[in-house]
A and B are shown apart, each in its own frame.
Chain A
């Protein structure tokens, strides 16, 4: 998948390229406004106008999907790409029972008899851990608690057995104890069904527990991408380094948390060169003028000139192991 996107005159996403293997969970982290959700929306084909993809392509199983007509894309959505959003109450239709919503989704995308679809709906509710599924299938969304509703949304996203799930902050609206249940569920189902997943969240803990690889986004670009263990334990890009260090640790008390000075630039005022240069502790002259591409950084790929072997940064030798 490859989706460089531009939004009107505002470039919201710039040169985002990544791929997700079958059965893989790719985490996408970043702060608000970094472009995480927009990347997800571009893949599902739900960019809000006037936003549009101005360049690049998105391929699903080798087939290009970013230029499909609306009707064809609608068929792919649900059947091949499932979506889970942050707020389960706005995802579900309040006027239909959860059973009807599951049945409608399955019958739209699969050749199933009404009886078969109903049986499967109950099966899905059981699979996502809703007690007394046979009765609850006739309940309306408002009759469920927040955690249970998010389980219904997960069932809805999975019921047509899509190959890819885009989950945008699926646990952010939930309490910690419920969040743990939902993460465990998502992980288990993705593994059992061999579904690929793009997990968008700002919570690094959720990514660390769930994802195989992670992309760190900053100001509409990928700052770093690599295996989750590498990125969390040994981040290479100075932004990832700052981001990881600023997460308050649960296992000890630190007197002074590491902080990144300043804040992320607005999309209308992204500085030339590397977008992180005004806040970067290791900035040097090249960062102010030239925008870095993703470079091999030993284990991960980082968009940072510190990792350009052809033109090493000044003072790079002593800092290399820092």
Chain B
């Protein structure tokens, strides 16, 4: 990867707030202030060309909002998105520019028009971007795309309902690839699929990346899936990035207490019989996030500073390729590699 080329995607201090206040009259009657949901609250990251960055986190952490901001489905409240060095407004100004970025959605049942034949679904971007001349050309390109995702060109004649979930996701991928994009945003692409089919789709995505040099922003809640596909991983909690690290580093040396708790919580197949220590408590509401570090009410390492001062994302002591937003890590109170002493007692 040449050092001079700008990152495929860069996000700077990105924030998106939603106004979830009640209607004006109701608000005035009960004297309630406006309420803002901070879905994404000041996050920054970059995705170099040809690599995969994954964002993981539990529901409501803002990872899907980031995906939508990146493709321009939402406008940022603050901060900016740079695509190939250009601000998103310029980067999406012309059809030729928009063609370079595509998205794959979670639900392959909802994202394909049930009344269209598969060949028309895949050909729509080809026509919209004027990438083919004439019917024969279009047919050939659709057949090629279907082959590329492991379907038969004959499948183009069928309707979406004739396919299983995994096959539909292949169709979504073929449609996304039809405009020769360089960058794909994948929002939970395998979450609706069974595990043996998930393996097929993940393998396909990795193979396409190798062959076509694609760049992925991959959104998932499944850490095991993320480990298989990512070069770098960002962990989100309540709209913020709490840790960003190379994939292997994140798994071998997780630093942020939330990341460590998350890894601890996943049931695995090892059956070591070890007693899991689940994280106590629940994710607070993003409408009234706790002051200071958003994780402090659940964090066993929290002290007074954590309750007041929001931590900044800085290189972690000991593993400088990791950046993490944690006072405990900064101050060296986190005992990396050991079980966190008294990782918040579970309610159970």
A243 to B268, CA, bound (A): 15
Known pairs A232-B271, A253-B247; A177 contacts B265 (CB<8 A): yes
Residue in B closest to A189 when the chains form the complex, CB atoms = B348
The stretch among B82-90, B219-227, B313-321 that forms the contact with chain A is B219-227
A146-163: which residues lie under 8 A (CB-CB) from chain B? 147-148
If A184-B348, A246-B195, A250-B223 touch, whether A179 touches B265 (CB-CB below 8 Å) is yes
Decide: A176 and B282 in contact? CB cutoff 8 A: no
Q: Tell me which residues across on chain B come within 8 A of A181, comparing CB atoms.
A: 278-280, 346-348
Q: Is A90 an interface residue (CB 8 A)?
A: no
A129 to B167 Cα, complex, angstroms = 42
> Within 8 Å of chain A (Cβ to Cβ): is B131?
no
Chain B 257-289 per-residue mask, 1 if CB under 8 angstroms from chain A, else 0 = 000011111111111000010111011000000
Q: Is the CB of A184 within 8 A of B278?
A: yes
Q: Smallest distance from the beta carbon of B145 to chain A beta carbons, Å? A: 20
CB distance from A88 to the nearest CB of B (A): 14
Contacting A176 at CB < 8 Å: which of B197, B221, B280? Answer: B221
Q: Does A319 contact B (CB under 8 A)?
A: no
Contacts of A313 in B (CB 8 A): none
A84: interface (CB < 8 Å): no
A185 to B265, CA, bound (A): 14
Q: A205-B267, A263-B164 are in contact. Are A257 and B199 (CB under 8 A)?
A: yes
Nearest Cβ in chain B — how far from A255, in angstroms?
A: 8
Q: Is the CB of B278 within 8 A of A177?
A: yes
Q: Is B203 an interface residue when CB atoms closer than 8 A count as contact?
A: yes
CB of B196 within 8 Å of the partner chain: yes
Residues of B within 8 A of A209 (CB): 267-268, 271, 276
Q: CB-nearest residue of chain A relative to B279?
A: A177
Contact of B194 among A32, A179, A248 (CB under 8 A): A32
B227 touching A253 by the CB < 8 A rule? Answer: yes
A237 to B164, CA, bound (A): 24
A232, B166: Cα distance in complex, Å: 24
Q: Are B265 and A145 in contact (CB under 8 A)?
A: no
Residues of B within 8 A of A147 (CB): 282
* Contact A31:B282 (CB < 8 A) given known A203-B267, A248-B202, A250-B224: no
- Does B58 count as interface, using CB distance less than 8 angstroms? yes
Whether, in the assembled complex, A242 has its beta carbon less than 8 Å from a beta carbon of chain B, the answer is yes
Q: Which of B198, B203, B228 contacts A253 (CB 8 A)?
A: B228
Q: Bound complex: CA of A297 vs CA of B262, how far in Å?
A: 37
Is A9 an interface position by the 8 A CB rule?
no
Q: Is A208 an interface residue (CB 8 A)?
A: yes
Chain B residues with Cβ below 8 Å from A179 are: 265, 267
Q: From A179, A242, A246, A255, name the one whose CB has the most chain B CB atoms within 10 angstroms.
A: A246
Q: Which range contains the number of A residues in contact with the other chain?
A: 35 or more
Question: Smallest CB-CB separation from A266: which chain B residue?
Answer: B164
B59 interface residue per 8 A CB criterion? yes
Q: Is B12 an interface residue (CB 8 A)?
A: no
Query: A residues within 8 A CB of B166?
Result: 263
Q: Is the CB of A259 within 8 A of B196?
A: yes
CB–CB A232/B269 < 8 A: yes
Residues on the B chain within 8 Å of A177, using CB: 58, 261-262, 265, 278-279, 282-283
Q: Which residues of the other chain, A, contact B199 by a CB distance below 8 angstroms?
A: 246, 248, 257-260
Is A208 a contact partner of B268 (Cβ separation < 8 A)?
A: yes
Given A31-B194, A184-B276, A248-B199, A228-B224 contact (CB < 8 Å): no
Given A242-B196, A257-B228, A180 and B267 touching (CB < 8 A)?
yes
Residues facing A in B99-153 (CB within 8 A) are: none
Q: Please indicate the chain B residues that have their CB under 8 angstroms from the CB of A261 in the complex.
A: 200
Residue from the set A129, A205, A208, A259 with the largest chain B CB neighbour count within 10 Å? A259
Kindly list chain A residues whose C-beta atoms are within 8 Å of the C-beta of B198: 246, 248
| Inter-chain contact A208/B269, CB cutoff 8 Å | yes
Q: Which of A98-136 contact B (CB under 8 A)?
A: 128-131
Task: Point out residues on A near B: beta carbons under 8 Å.
Answer: 31-32, 128-131, 145, 147-148, 175-185, 188, 202-206, 208-210, 228-229, 232-233, 242-244, 246-261, 263-264
- The 16 sampled A-B contact pairs (Cβ below 8 Å) are A147-B282, A176-B58, A176-B262, A181-B279, A182-B348, A188-B348, A208-B267, A232-B271, A242-B196, A247-B269, A251-B251, A251-B268, A256-B203, A257-B202, A257-B203, A264-B164
